[in-house]
Amino acid sequence: MAEITLTQVGKQFGDVVAVHPLDLKIADGSFTVLVGPSGCGKTTTLRMLAGLETSTAGTIHIGDRDVTALDPKDRNVAMVFQNFALYPHLDVQRNIGFGLEARRVPRAEIRAKVKEAAELLDMEGLLPRKPGALSGGQQQRVAIARAIVREPEVFLFDEPLSNLDAKLRVETRTELLRLQRQLSATMVYVTHDQEEAMILADELIVMDKGRVQQAGSPIDVYRHPINEFVARFIGSPEINMFDGELRDGQFTSELADLPLPDVREGPVRLGVRPDDVRRASELRDEHAVGHLRAHVEVVEILGAAAVVYLRTGGRELRAVVGEGEVDDIQEGHEIEVAFDRRRLHAFDPATGERLGA
């Protein structure tokens, strides 16, 4: 396993810059997730790591090797593709062993390693079958086994779960984590699903428009988004944002007025996550700011929690409440809510940059 260093790595297609030169350090043995909307450059970055795309700028190091000029096959990486990319004419056994065969590993050794990988993924029974006879989840396992068996320095995943149905996605997600811990593998994972990213990542790298917006642990990125994009992209339901003016430490807006220290004067965009919008009665007085009465429009019951869509001052406000609170909240009625002052986010409306703490 190895540490990965990208130094000023960028990719340009003609005039279009897909990835602006970026610096990344991926720790050995970590599960790093690149997340962002379509077209943000995450897949391109992954493919440059793999060697499937040549970078137009910068250098890539795996361990202490400079792999920038190397073909994928010389980089000692393994990749799991979104559409599995299994060899349709080979059975599972030979699919998994393909990379080893290509490197002239003796047949007995191949058979042993394939068996080992299959056992790890609980799929020995599938070995004689062909990809056409497998379900999506099973095909994905084969793709993962194929990667494992090569004992690479780095595992690369390109949205491997997007072709699976929801329940399977959750199951496979957990298995991937278990696998990574078991193998102490360095894994780089690309997804557009922020929930998946949050669950899987040791280190989260949020990308947009070809640039890294923020890198950090999931909880750090969640609690301290560095700009408006990250604040909106991470966290579901989406963060509530409203504009106002900050004067003399007081934030005034159409929606609510509240004190906001440590932020410069001028126009401010305030962000409050739905889970930080609470029933006024649930918050301790010293934590609650911005009290307002809001009209309950829709209550979505998720089970352990519920999303409440409120309307106040002509605007929508999203709140998340626990299952125990749901009985008191009825659609069509009004409730009193407040914000948790410890969890406010302030952004510059013009640049999107975070203001203050």
Partner 1 sequence: MSRTKEPSPVTSRSVRSRLFTALRLGFVVLAVIAVLVPFLWLVASSLKPAPALSAGPFEPFRPQLGWWRDVLASDVRVSLVRSAVVGLVTVGISVVAGSLGGYAISRFGTGGRTLRFGVLSGQMIPPAVLVIPLFLIAFQFGLNDSLPAVIAAHLTFVLPLTTWFLIGFFDAVPREYEEQARVDGYTRFQAFWKVVLPQVRPGIGAAAIFGFILSWNDLFYALILAGGQARTLPVAIAGFNTFRGVELGEMSVAILLSAVPVLIASFFVQRRLIQGLGAGGLKG
Partner 2 sequence: MKAGEQGLKQTVTGAPERLGRLLVMPLLAILGAVLIYPVLFTARVSVQDYRLNALDQVEFIGTEHYASLITNATFINALRNTAVFVVTAVTLELILGLALALAVQRLGPTRDGVRSILLMPMFVTPIAVGLIFRFLLNQQLGLIPPLLDLFGFRIDFFGPDLALLSLALIDVWQWTPLMFLMMLAGLESLPKAPFEAARVDGASTWFTFRRVTLPLLRPAIIIAVVIRMLDALRVFEYVFAITRGGPGQTTDTIQYLIYRVGFQFFRLGEASAMAYVLVAFVLVLVAVLIWLTRKGESA
Shortest separation between residue 73's beta carbon and partner 2, angstroms: 4
**Under 8 Å CB-to-CB from 290, ≥6 apart: which residues?**
255, 256, 257, 258, 272, 338, 339
Shortest separation between residue 2's beta carbon and partner 1, angstroms: 9
Backbone angles phi, psi at 219, to 5 degrees: -70, -35
Shortest separation between residue 51's beta carbon and partner 1, angstroms: 9
Site for partner 1 in 62-121 (CB under 8 A): 63, 65-66, 68-71, 74, 76, 100, 103, 105, 109
Among partner 1, partner 2, none, what does residue 151 contact (CB within 5–8 Å per kind)? partner 1
Nearest CB to partner 2, comparing residues 149 and 215: 149
Report CA-CA distances (Å) from 111 to 85, 117, 118, 138: 21, 10, 10, 20
Among partner 2, partner 1, none, what does residue 321 contact (CB within 5–8 Å per kind)? none
Shortest separation between residue 133's beta carbon and partner 2, angstroms: 13
Shortest separation between residue 332's beta carbon and partner 2, angstroms: 49
The rounded distance, in Å, linking the Cα atoms of 9 and 4 is: 12
State the DSSP string of 250-272: EEE-SS--EE-TTS-SEEEEEEE
Q: How many CB atoms lie within 10 A of CB 324?
A: 9
Residues that bind partner 2 (CB under 8 A): 50-52, 71-74, 77-79, 81, 83-90, 98-99, 101-103, 146, 150, 156
Among partner 1, partner 2, none, what does residue 153 contact (CB within 5–8 Å per kind)? partner 1
**Do 62 and 230 contact (CB within 8 A), yes or no?**
no
Nearest CB to partner 2, comparing residues 99 and 352: 99
Shortest separation between residue 342's beta carbon and partner 1, angstroms: 49
Nearest CB to partner 1, comparing residues 52 and 168: 52
Among partner 2, partner 1, none, what does residue 50 contact (CB within 5–8 Å per kind)? partner 2
334's enclosing H/E stretch is strand 334-340
The rounded distance, in Å, linking the Cα atoms of 80 and 179 is: 14
Structure token digits, residue 316: 């929508």
The rounded distance, in Å, linking the Cα atoms of 177 and 199 is: 9
Nearest CB to partner 2, comparing residues 147 and 206: 147
Among partner 1, partner 2, none, what does residue 112 contact (CB within 5–8 Å per kind)? none
> Omega into 237 within 30° of 0, i.e. cis?
yes
Nearest CB to partner 2, comparing residues 47 and 269: 47
User: 277 pairs with which residues across the strands?
Assistant: 339
The rounded distance, in Å, linking the Cα atoms of 130 and 86 is: 9
Residue 191 three-state SS:
strand
Among partner 2, partner 1, none, what does residue 210 contact (CB within 5–8 Å per kind)? none
Q: Count residues contacting partner 1 (CB under 8 A)?
A: 16
Shortest separation between residue 211's beta carbon and partner 1, angstroms: 27
Nearest CB to partner 1, comparing residues 151 and 193: 151
Q: What totals of helices (H) and strands (E) does the chain contain, helices first?
A: 8, 21
Among partner 2, partner 1, none, what does residue 87 contact (CB within 5–8 Å per kind)? partner 2
Nearest CB to partner 1, comparing residues 71 and 327: 71
**Do 71 and 240 contact (CB within 8 A), yes or no?**
no
Quick one: which of 215, 241, 237 has its CA closest to 228? 241
What mask, x for binding partner 1 by CB under 8 A, covers residues 129 to 158? ----------------------x-x-----
Pairing of strands 203-208, 31-35: parallel
Structure token digits, residue 134: 């497998």
Nearest CB to partner 2, comparing residues 96 and 272: 96
Binding residues (CB under 8 A) for partner 1: these are 54, 63, 65-66, 68-71, 74, 76, 100, 103, 105, 109, 151, 153
